[in-house]
Chain A
């Protein structure tokens, strides 16, 4: 039995990891934008 049959190799590139990268970037910048335009006031963040 080959190693490949034992356990699949990880994908040549982990697309999920890189989508997670974009998601973190967009969420971080979105939150920053919302704070700067006053949509998230100080009282909303405990």
Chain B
């Protein structure tokens, strides 16, 4: 590889503000022409690749790293699948038999992702490989495939409560987080990112909100890191708590879908809680995703007309709503319509065919969960300080309680 490296200065002159609104070294941020994907910051003192002078060579080097990242992702996913299928058989008859049966693929995938993350970080490769870790794309493809396992009637019966829960939860949690972040003195753009991430759908919402309020890249990277940091324990904690609280599968699914921020983690927790809980959790989360466009447009209008007061700025219209609508929601519903029709016409044989779709879905979810583990960034969290973490933690607890109340109220009569 001919990529040289340069060092971003940690003890450089003081710039205006970091992700948390505190002063930071002036040259720590990523310059506009630096080839770093949006949402991935470069911590102080970290070696970063500089593109070779020849653009074609630079492209070749970049694609080689992306290919290597994709291979790593696939290898860890294949290992996850192997462990998921073989460990219970290998542990049969031993003292670990029950544990081996209880550990499902999200656990292996996330742990292997974290392990891979530690290794590539030690090797100094992670920033170069990161472009291959497309968690959002993988989870959305997995969700479209998940739509094929959900009967249209289930979507029909859960849609009303899901929309009601999403509107109440997004409004309540967004306003609480916005208010609390203001009390902690955080900058308005970071307030918008944190509030959107906690209340709607984690990383996707943070990306949409960052575009709406024109937040800085490190603020987006920082918010995305917080989302993943809080989502990881929730994946295991919520299914366990749902069991302890004796929630029905439907209420547990609605709680998981309404509370965990990022869609990938919702799916992981839902998978641990059971197939029915997974179906309801995904419907609830997809509904929240669908409302993301409305919040993004409202934020655009608020920041353009009230916060930044850009002269002559136009109010965003209906076209903007469609542009920001997460299109995979359409794929999720379309897959359910197609599969429901197929099962009605193909009869008993149809179930075996849909089982193949379910296996493909599991592969995409495994890839997404491995990718989550590979993407965790502790460095950007350390740099931002304690205040945004305190806001995010408080908002998560508020979300947890409000989502539990709403799920219990709205989903008690829903059957998956």
A10-B215, A36-B338 as given contacts; A3 in contact with B17, CB under 8 Å = yes
- A residues in contact with B355, CB < 8 Å: 42
- B residues in contact with A40, CB < 8 Å: 356, 360
- Taken together as a complex, chains A and B put the C-alpha atoms of A2 and B81 apart, in Å, by 49
- Taken together as a complex, chains A and B put the C-alpha atoms of A10 and B37 apart, in Å, by 10
Interface residues of A in 14-46 (CB under 8 A from B): 14, 16-18, 20-29, 31-33, 35-36, 40-42, 45-46
- B residues in contact with A17, CB < 8 Å: 136, 204, 207-208
- Taken together as a complex, chains A and B put the C-alpha atoms of A7 and B144 apart, in Å, by 35
Is B328 within 8 A of A28, CB to CB? yes
Is B207 within 8 A of A9, CB to CB? no
Question: What is the predominant secondary structure among interface residues of chain B facing chain A?
Answer: helix
Is A35 within 8 A of B360, CB to CB? yes
Contacting residue for B323 out of A18, A31, A42, CB 8 A: A18
Is A32 within 8 A of B335, CB to CB? yes
- Taken together as a complex, chains A and B put the C-alpha atoms of A33 and B339 apart, in Å, by 10
Is A14 within 8 A of B140, CB to CB? no
Is B356 within 8 A of A7, CB to CB? no
- Considering only CB atoms and an 8 Å cut-off, how many residues of chain A contact the other chain? 35
- Taken together as a complex, chains A and B put the C-alpha atoms of A20 and B140 apart, in Å, by 9
Cβ contacts B197-226/A at 8 Å (1 or 0 each): 000000010011011101111101000000
Is A42 within 8 A of B356, CB to CB? yes
Q: For residue A17, which residue of chain B has the nearest CB?
A: B207
A6-B29, A24-B140 as given contacts; A14 in contact with B208, CB under 8 Å = yes
A13-B211, A24-B141 as given contacts; A2 in contact with B328, CB under 8 Å = no
B132 on the A face (CB < 8 A): no
The smallest beta-carbon distance between B403 and chain A, in angstroms, is 25
Name 18 interchain pairs, CB-CB below 8 A, sorted by A: A3-B16, A6-B15, A6-B216, A7-B29, A8-B217, A10-B207, A13-B324, A18-B327, A21-B326, A24-B137, A24-B140, A24-B328, A25-B140, A26-B331, A27-B144, A31-B145, A31-B357, A35-B360
Binding site for B on A (CB under 8 A): 1-3, 6-14, 16-18, 20-29, 31-33, 35-36, 40-42, 45-46
Closest 5 CB pairs of A and B: A28-B144, A25-B331, A24-B140, A7-B29, A9-B214
| Inter-chain pairs besides A24-B140, A29-B144, A40-B360, 11 sampled, C-beta below 8 Å | A3-B17, A10-B39, A10-B211, A10-B217, A12-B300, A13-B323, A13-B324, A25-B330, A25-B334, A28-B144, A46-B78
